[in-house]
Each structure stands twice: as structure tokens, then as C-alpha cells.
A and B are shown apart, each in its own frame.
Chain A
């Protein structure tokens, strides 16, 4: 029964939307039916754009993850580096990505590079904080156990700290993957000239030309993309953690 709750909520939402749409013109608020038809009409275009946005989001997520892993490990290894750089990582998080995107266009030019960079920027900080927390949350007895055997930093990292940090990493990835899609779409708003076609670029173009129903379809496609990536991360998390971590099994 509990599994039906989201479906019931979705049906109620659609019913409410349909009722509300009857009070406005389609250019202001198209009905779900009109959005579905518009999406069906541009399905091929929408599929290609979703593919490019997914590529940008995943590339950005990969770059963000690589940077977050590197800095988290360096922060654990060199406390002075953490003290010196962590405040700037916090500042980076507070900068509005929409304001940085035009700067990235100047540096990288129009194209996929900007959306990859914005995606990497927005998911970097949550990944860094969750990874750093994970790497420093190793039980002290575990650390003592390794110290007593004169274990190297590498052994302690690979055999103790990283496995303990995995649940934290997946928590970061779950929020990071959604942020990466947002970052990619924002990057495409500003830094895409339609080559390659992407969800952000098409959404902007359709809404500017008052194709509201198609714009809605593209926005929904962005949401579905983020949801799909989230579910893939969740599946991966279950695979990796379910045998020993309760969070992975839930």
C-alpha cells in the first residue's frame, strides 16, 4: 500500500494541475494533456537533448567527484591544507552559478564545456563535505588498530577510511547527481548555442518563443533525467553497501 502513495500523490497533482489549467490560457499554463502532446511531438529532439544534458551532467559529476576525492584525501593527510582551503570551498558554494556561467563562456566558449563546468561546480561542495566527513568519521579503535601495526597512510586510506566513508559518499552522490543536472541545465541556458542541442538550450528557446507546452515537456524531461540518475546511484549504493551497511539495505 505504501508503494502506492507516490502514485496517488502524482494523480492528485495532475488532477489539480488540470483543474488549474482550465482557468488560464495554454500559453500561460498548458494542461498536462497539452504538455504530453507537445512532448510527443518533439520526442526525437527531446531524446537527443536529454542525452547531451545527461552527458554534461555526468561529466560534471565525474569531474566534481574526482576533485572532491582529491581534496578530501589531501585535507585528511595535511591538516594545514584543510585549514587553508576549506573556507574557500565554502565560499565557492555560496557563489551563484548563474552568475559564474557567463564568465565560463568567456573562458571556455559556447558548447558542452560550460555545462560540464557548471555541473562540476555545483556538485563539488556537497561531495567534498560528505567525503571529508566520511574520511574523518573512522572509529578511533580502527585507527588505533592500524597504528599498532605501523600501517602506511595508503593502507589506512584504502583499507579503513575509504570503506568507512562509502556510505557518506553515496549520501553526497544522491544530492550531487540532482545538482549536477541543475548545474548542466543552467550552464546550457547561458553557454549553449544549440550545438549540441540540449535540454537547457531548448527550454530557453521554446519559452522565449512562447511554446509553453513544449517548454514544460522539456522541464519535465530534466526532472525525469535527475530522477533516473538518482535511482541509478541508489541502485549502485545498494549493490555496494547492502551486505554490511544498514543504509545500503534500506
Chain B
């Protein structure tokens, strides 16, 4: 078995004058898998994701990371409104002084189905197109580790279904490790190989549920009885 991509050791964190969000959190993120973080609202899922991404420093404990490049897809697409789809997608490469940023960005836009939208500004794109562009921007750096912070929650049901199918396809094609926060149990079961359920006071308990479904997965899997059974087990764990 490969070394875990991320290890959380006795992680504790909280906000000033508030009870700690989690105490002595321990977990390992398996390389090459998609892991979903679910839990009740306010249990610290997004904070844990930001700690994992290095955007916050933990108050206690440590995080050991074994990856070269990471990227994040946020809840809102967070595209820069003055940049076209190509220039938005090329941004991470541009920041890394990549010589061929625009060409690579357009290749990635092709992969997410935005062939005809190279020169579109964000306000000229639909919600689904913006999210596809945000995914392209994250994947253009070929990240070993991808963070998703409720990335699909703002999309309408039909668009979300399309983006789920796209994400499953990209995962099959590119192969990356992902840690995703979601409050949608069905989304977690559909996309993830493992689901961490944060529960108990101070998220002291993490129940890890494995989703035993071979890849590549078809989105139609959500209609099967197996799918319903996994959803029920996650719900009962919450």
C-alpha cells in the first residue's frame, strides 16, 4: 500500500473565545483516492480542509503532506472577472512562470468541455461553465492533491449532475488524490472512495466508511440499491 498523501497527527484547532472545532484529530488520506468529508453544519469540515491545504496553521498537532502540487476548487468558481476563460485557467501556470501557459490552459478547457469558450469573460458564462473553468484552473497544474470545498453545492441539480459526470471522467483520466468537503451525502457516495464522517463533540470521532464500487463509475450508479445502502450507512453514522 502506498504511503498516505496526508497524515493528520493529534490536530486541534478552534477560534478565539469559542470551543475547539476539533481536538486530537488523527487520520490518513490515502493516495490516489477521493476522500469526502461529511459532517453536520459547523463541525469544522471547511476548516479542516483549509488546514490540510496549508491556508491555516493548526493550533496544535501536525499535518504531514507527501505531494508536489496542490490545487483547490472553491464553493464559488472564484474566477477573476477581468480575465477570459483561457487567462483564468492559465493563471496558476502564469504564477509559476510557465512558458506555455495559454496553450496548456486551452487543452485543459477542451478536457472540461469548454472548447468554444476560450475568450469568454466570466459574466458571459453560465454557472456550469464557470465551475468547469474553475475545475480546469485547478487541474491545469496537474496537482497530486486536489481540495474541493463544497465545490458543486452552488449549482442547480441538473448542472450538478453534469459536473459530477465530468469530475468522474477527469478522475479516471488524470488520476489524482482528492479531499472534498460536502454536505450532500449522495454526492459523497457517488464521487468518493472513502467517506470520513466527523461527529461527536469537537469532531473527536471520525468514522471512516469505504465506498466499495469499482471505477470508472457511471453517474447512473446512483439509481442502484447498493448506492442507497451506502447513503443509509453514512446517514446513520452522522
Contact = CB atoms under 8 A, between A and B. Distances in A.
Interface of A: 139, 141-142, 144-151, 155, 159-160, 163, 243-245
Given A147-B55, A151-B95, A141 B74 contact: yes
Nearest to A147: B55
Given A243-B82, A245-B81, A144 B92 contact: no
B71 A148 contact: yes
A243 B121 contact: yes
A244 B79 CA distance: 12
19 contacts: A139-B78, A141-B74, A141-B75, A141-B78, A142-B78, A144-B50, A145-B78, A145-B92, A148-B55, A148-B92, A149-B91, A149-B141, A155-B95, A243-B82, A243-B121, A244-B81, A244-B121, A244-B123, A245-B81
A interface majority secondary structure: helix
A163 B95 contact: no
B interface bracket (residues with beta carbon within 8 Å of A): 20 to 34
B82 A163 contact: yes
B72 A144 contact: yes
A145 B147 CA distance: 11
B95 A244 contact: no
Contacts of A150: 95
B55 A149 contact: no
Nearest to B97: A155
B80 A163 contact: yes
A149 B95 contact: yes
A141 B121 contact: no
Contacts of A144: 50, 53, 55, 72, 74
Interface of B: 50, 53-55, 70-72, 74-76, 78, 80-82, 91-92, 94-96, 121-123, 141
Given A141-B74, A144-B72, A159-B80, 16 more contacts: A145-B72, A145-B92, A146-B95, A147-B55, A148-B53, A148-B54, A148-B71, A148-B92, A149-B92, A150-B95, A159-B94, A163-B82, A243-B82, A244-B81, A244-B122, A244-B123
Nearest to A240: B82
Nearest to B81: A244
Nearest to B70: A148
B101 to A, nearest CB: 12
A69 B70 CA distance: 33
Contacts of B75: 141
A213 B72 CA distance: 67
User: Which 7 pairs, one residue from A and one from B, show the smallest C-beta to C-beta distance?
Assistant: A141-B78, A244-B81, A141-B74, A149-B95, A244-B82, A151-B95, A149-B92
A242 to B, nearest CB: 11
A159 B81 CA distance: 12
A104 B94 CA distance: 48
Contacts of B80: 142, 159-160, 163
Contacts of A159: 80, 91, 94-95
B13 to A, nearest CB: 17
Contacts of A141: 74-76, 78
Contacts of B55: 144, 147-148
A147 B70 CA distance: 11
A150 B92 CA distance: 10
A19 B95 CA distance: 67
Nearest to A246: B123
A248 to B, nearest CB: 10
B88 to A, nearest CB: 10
A147 B147 CA distance: 14
B134 to A, nearest CB: 10
Contacts of A146: 95
A160 B80 CA distance: 8
A243 B92 CA distance: 23
Contacts of A243: 82, 121
A142 to B, nearest CB: 6
Contacts of B82: 163, 243-245
